[in-house]
Amino acid sequence: MENARERKRMYEKETGEIQNRIDAFDRALEQAPNLDTKMEYMQTINSLRELLIIKFEGLAIASDEIIDELEEELK
């Protein structure tokens, strides 16, 4: 279970870091000087969102493993 807990903490940390990067690019997008830069920022935001989804899936799996192991301990 400790391995699942470590992965859960790692995914929580990584999702927070990715969200901070998305927020930073979102703020930069508002101030981008031209269309090309705005398009580049939007592509980066989309890529980060895709990565965020993958990390959330990993977080869900790790959480499920923890729940399963706790349920086994209760039996």
Total domain count for the chain? 1
Q: State the pLDDT at residue 56.
A: 95
How many Cα atoms sit within 13 Å of 54 on the Cβ side? 8
Structural domain harbouring 44: 2-74
Q: State the pLDDT at residue 23.
A: 98
Q: State the pLDDT at residue 2.
A: 85
Q: What is the pTM of this model?
A: 0.84
Using DSSP's 3-state secondary structure scheme, residue 4 falls into helix
Q: State the pLDDT at residue 19.
A: 98
Mean pLDDT by 10 residues, the chain (75 residues): 90 97 97 97 98 96 94 90
Among 5, 27, 4, 16, which residue's Cα sits nearest to residue 51?
16
Q: State the pLDDT at residue 53.
A: 97
Q: State the pLDDT at residue 36.
A: 97
Cβ atoms 29, 42 nearer than 8 A: yes
